[in-house]
Structure 1
Amino acid sequence: MTELPPGAALAEMPGFSAPAWDEAHRLAELRSYGILDTPPERDFDEVVQFAAQLCAAPIAVVNLIDQDRQFFKAEIGLSLRETPLDVSICAHAILQPDLFVVPDTTRDPRFAANPLVTGAPHLRFYAGALLETAEGLPLGTLCVLDYVARPEGLTPEQAFGLQILARQVMAQLELRRALAMREASERRFRVLADAMPQMVWSTLPDGSHDYYNARWYEFTGVPFGSTDGAGWNGMFHPDDQARAWARWRHSLESGEPYEIEYRLRRADGVYRWTLGRALPVRDAEGRIERWFGTCTDIEDIKATEDALRRSEERLRLALSAAEMVGTFIWDVRADRIAADPGFARLFSVAPEALAAGVSIAALEPAVHPEDALRLRARIRAALQGERGFEAEYRLRQRDGGLRWVVARGRCEGDAAGQVSELRGVIMDITERKLAEEGQELLARELSHRIKNIFTVIGGMISLSSSGATPEVRGFAQVLRRRLQALAVAHDYVRPEAAGAAPGGGTTLRGLLATLLAPYGGEESGRLRLMGDDVPVGVKAATSLALILHELATNAAKYGALSREAGHVAITLERRGERLGLTWQERGGPEVAGPPERRGFGTILAERGSLQLGGRVAQDWDRAGLTLRLEVPLARLAG
């Protein structure tokens, strides 16, 4: 409900009833017209002139009621622009539903003491028609006043005419607001359009261009306004102009969105590929009021697309030339695998079938039965989290032969993280496999000969030491054991060794278990092997075999393994790009300190660590020996 203006005290007067509108809302609506404190305007001045003539009144006013004043937008006979609200008759008029008429102000208790009645200009008569918004909010009045009372009031014609003129004032106010709102809207649009990286344009419903943003003129370098109307088409490459006109005419006739790619001339004369788009803006009846469009420079995108297309063509040609290479895409959800002719040849399937897509089950009969389970496991692992996929397997050919292939790929997921596709490539590696088999046969033959050499050398040592002094026989026995350790290491690092890691590799923990088996192994509880495991190669195995053999032999003779309660703990620890090996003996005889003499075995161990590029340190604690060896992982795997 409204709060009355200060000084009016209308609520205390007889017959007063509070209005249904809210004063804060009314004031906000009044200010939205932007009319307060504006200078006189002819359209409003002519209204008050005609109102004064119509009602034969010396005073006529377009009066707007503000928070604490009344503002006269137009007046005749007062020579004032505003007065305080507490002397306003119109402040009472806006509380009335219709035309408000006061025949004699001196006889009306609401106005008898008003300074404008008791003093100059001695107002005696008032008639005001509401200036009311469409939602019923009163902004003020169009009123006429006289210095003489009029007991008869206004004639019906005068009352009707005054209300008609009041509605004309409101029409002018609405027009002013609409124009002002449009000019704010257009200003915001221009600021926004000029800030955009694209070229922005607008046309009339018939397609005649009447607006371009700043970006258009920066790009084209043409004078302002020179491409209005239909001048824009001359900016396109000559080969594109007819096509652009035809597409634009089709959109204008059909009302369909406009989209086309053409070459647009830049300020330096270079034509660049551009994407043109436009949408129509329609009124409530569906009629097109205007078209708004953009031009986006896509030259760099087109260049990238051309480069990608050429790259794909080169890849296609390369794949078609290399008959034993193929690519595939598996739609996991639909279980449809689509592939190129190279893939089809390897699986002995018609290229047309794989171009359309087949299920995984349709391809499984081509996989060798001994490889099928392993292949399914690799696919499952990729789908369940590994994402990367690689598998080697054999394919049965139509002629009964077998071909080895390797398939590599990667899973692609959707927004929810679920695997949707597996894309990859498959290559024929039959020739490589045959070469590897030949190399393996050769390696086995060499291994067999090396083992024979170890046996022959061992026999020669035994034969040579027969009948020799005890010292010579002891040295020969030690030498034979070292040869045996080397032989064991050599056997272990062969791919067919029992301790080989999955995939044909060998590991350090496996080598340690093999070398230390003669001393009871982990099962006895006297040897404890802990920590990380890493690959070990042929070269490193030889050096490690000598080091570990000497450590185990000395432990069995003098150290922890010489007593039943003694044990050895071997700990392996990755340290970045290096591996630490700790050999710790406990439970053996008390150690008095480092040995006084460096034996041959110790020298071999030190040289072995140097060959591995490592560092070795020994701690001769009273509780037992602790040896620490650190070697590069790269040298260990060599």
Structure 2
Amino acid sequence: MTRLIDDIKRVWRGEQQPSLTWSCLFAAVCLIAATAVRYGMAHLRPDVFFTPYMPAVFFATAMGGSGVGLATAILGAGLGLMLDFGGGPADGARLALMAMYLTVAALVIWGVNHYRSLAAKQREIARRLTEEEQYRKLLVDELHHRLKNKTSTIHAVLHQVLHDQPQVWGRIDQRIRALATADDLIARADAQGCDLKDLLMSELGPYGHVRFELNGDPLFLPAKLAVSLALIFHELATNAGKYGAFASPRGFLQVSWTMQDDRLKLTWDEAEGPPINHVGKPGFGTKLLKAALSSFDGKTETTFLATGIHCTMQCRVPPS
């Protein structure tokens, strides 16, 4: 019984096409039920000839297709014309009602088929999106796996070259491990999200925990926003390591954030970095900073001060 109900549901949604025999039997049951309803209504309103057959046309079309629905409509018109439970003649008024019934039945058949075709297209689109998402996840997992392998290879090569320089190796080893940890955190964030402070710690940790200060309450970031912010933080941290606060022995970074309603406001403020004498043309990093938060109704504003970058970010934090 459960299987029969499931089959009927799939047929109703257009996911399965029933056999012609089953469709014809179902249409016959609908016609019999409509005729019984018409017989009962005849005691109250004898001039109701075709209206009870309209639901039969709808259900027969939904279950068996346009051909079965059309046959049901024609048979309903014939039954309404021939069977006379009220004793009235088949005059011109009844023929006019039959013409109206057939017109409406044709519209019903067209509407059901149009709906089923739209539903089929939506299911196909959903299937393609699911396949593309699975393929994207597979590529991301493969890229992450290759990145881990490359990081391990670089770690092994540097260890072999610097095995007789333990002090140098000790500083490099910590940074490589911290970078690997940051990559793992970003990969996990793409699947489930992460805390904002953990994200910043993973990105800034390789530069030394005494070089930066984080001020803000714990804030869990949904997956997509976490990845977008991770890209921004990575770009800013890389820039700080090359030209900003982390490129100077006395350089220092302060990151602060606050939440107001569902809006996040974050400030990235570098100090004591080397003087910035010239700002080059906007490159990929600048475009990334401007566009990364646009899908979260956000924006990023960057100011090049004398000793580092001052950057403010604000965006909407979607519910988790």
Greater share of residues in strand: 1
Greater share of residues in helix: 2
TM-score, normalised on structure 2? 0.43
Whose RCO is larger (CA < 8 A, sep 6+)? 2
